[in-house]
């Protein structure tokens, strides 16, 4: 019966992934035996099935029994595998991002390699520790929220009945694991660049064997927005972590995705619209490097492009944010329509 499948799904989703297959078979066998006792002729009704499930208890309680204890966790077994997956992605992305930045810095300024390598190791340890703390805090909050919303436990007694079980999501509503993983990697790499090497974003020039970078941004002014960058990174990782855990498109997940996308787009627009973060000497540096000449016919047009770049970037952020929201809403709508 469908009600039995829903119950088994609800129980196993609260267990570590490595245990789910075995416990699913064991629990199904237990339910079938209990049904056979109630209906020896093999004609068990829905009422018999609901009676058996009620006797077994709320999925939270049964899952706790299968785990062997009902202790409180900072990060519980139901989300621990997702926590490890996210933590590995974040730490590996940090290591790759910092390693690439270290290599670029050595290429741009070959002098002082030993000092740069020391700074690289310090940054690697510092960023890795911060990544670990951020991911752990995010999943601890998710675990706290799950416990707060949980029903039928000893801490939150309610009248429970099998009819309250949620439907089993179909395959069309599943979120590909590659999507949140790719988003986390991009978020981490972007944050690493902003925090550690924002001055590398600019026009690269090789002249007489010497490499220089004419930066787009005023690094000192941009650092004032680092708390905003960290907040955006945390929100992004939180959103993708929830997608890894839930793995299904739901209305609540869509609403959260829209809220995070709007908040991120607004924050990014505020940062980009601040003229103080842009290099005030960019045009002068370009002229000094011989990359821009006031005598050129298109000189005014090129300067105009630079002065308007901030507004264009703000427009692109708004456009991409809108496309992202519309895309997610369409995917959710398509799932609902086919249900």
Q: What is the mean pLDDT of each run of 10 residues along the chain (339 residues)?
A: 84 79 89 81 77 84 72 72 88 90 77 81 89 89 73 48 74 79 90 85 75 85 90 89 83 90 93 91 85 82 87 93 92 78
Neighbours of 33 (CB within 10 A): 10
Nearest to 273 by CA among 263, 282, 281, 265: 265
Cβ count near 159 (within 10 Å): 7
pLDDT, residue 157, reads: 39
Q: Exposed, middle or buried, 103 (CB in 10 Å: 0-12/13-18/19+)?
A: exposed
Encoding tokens for residue 142? 């998710």
Contact 243, 177 (CB under 8 A): no
- pLDDT for res 69: 58
**Sign of the Cα pseudo-torsion (135, 141, 144, 150, in order):** negative
Contact between residue 123 and residue 94 where contact means Cβ atoms under 8 Å apart = no
Contact at 8 Å (CB) between 220 and 208? no
Beta bridge partners of 213: 204
Q: Show the tokens assigned to 198.
A: 């924002």
Q: What pLDDT is recorded for position 71? A: 55
C-beta atoms surrounding 313 within 10 Å: 15
Do the beta carbons of residue 127 and residue 192 sit within 8 Å? Answer: yes
Other CB atoms within 10 Å distance of the CB of residue 322: 13
Q: Could you give the CA distance from residue 129 to residue 91 in angstroms, rounded to a whole number?
A: 9
Contact (CB, 8 A) for 336 and 169: no
Q: Are 64 and 44 spatial neighbours (Cβ–Cβ below 8 Å)?
A: no
Q: What is the pTM of this model?
A: 0.72
Cα 87 from Cα 294, distance rounded (Å) = 51
SS3 76: coil
What's the alpha-carbon Rg for the chain, to the nearest Å?
Answer: 27
Domain range summary for the chain, segments of one domain joined by +:
1-69, 80-338
């Amino acid at each position: 019966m469908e009600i039995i499948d829903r119950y088994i799904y609800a129980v196993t989703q609260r267990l570590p992934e490595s245990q789910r297959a075995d416990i699913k078979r064991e629990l199904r066998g237990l339910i079938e035996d209990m049904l056979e006792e109630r209906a020896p002729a093999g004609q068990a009704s829905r009422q018999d099935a609901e009676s058996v499930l009620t006797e077994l208890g709320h999925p939270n309680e049964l899952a706790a029994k299968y785990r062997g204890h009902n202790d409180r966790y900072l990060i519980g077994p139901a989300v621990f595998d997702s926590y490890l997956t996210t933590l590995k992605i974040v730490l590996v992305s940090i290591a790759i991002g910092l390693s690439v930045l270290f290599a670029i810095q050595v290429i741009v300024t070959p002098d002082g390699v030993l000092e740069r390598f020391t700074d690289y190791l310090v940054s690697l340890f510092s960023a890795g520790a911060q990544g670990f703390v951020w991911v752990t805090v995010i999943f601890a909050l998710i675990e706290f929220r799950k416990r707060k919303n949980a029903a039928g436990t000893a801490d939150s007694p309610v009248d429970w009945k099998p009819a309250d079980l949620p439907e089993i999501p179909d395959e069309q509503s599943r979120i590909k694991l590659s999507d949140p993983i790719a988003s986390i990697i991009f978020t981490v790499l972007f944050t690493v660049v902003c925090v550690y090497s924002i001055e590398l974003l600019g026009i690269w020039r090789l002249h007489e064997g010497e490499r220089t970078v004419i930066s787009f941004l005023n690094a000192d002014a941009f650092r004032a927005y680092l708390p905003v960058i960290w907040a955006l990174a945390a929100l992004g990782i939180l959103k993708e972590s929830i997608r890894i855990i839930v793995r299904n498109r739901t209305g609540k997940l869509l609403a959260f995705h829209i809220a995070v996308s709007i908040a991120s787009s607004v924050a990014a627009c505020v940062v980009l619209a601040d003229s103080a973060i842009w290099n005030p000497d960019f045009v002068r540096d370009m002229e000094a490097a011989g990359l821009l000449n006031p005598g050129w016919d298109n000189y005014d047009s090129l300067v105009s492009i630079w002065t308007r770049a901030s507004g264009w970037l703000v427009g692109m952020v708004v456009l991409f944010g809108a496309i992202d929201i519309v895309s997610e809403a369409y995917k959710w709508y398509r799932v609902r329509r086919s249900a």
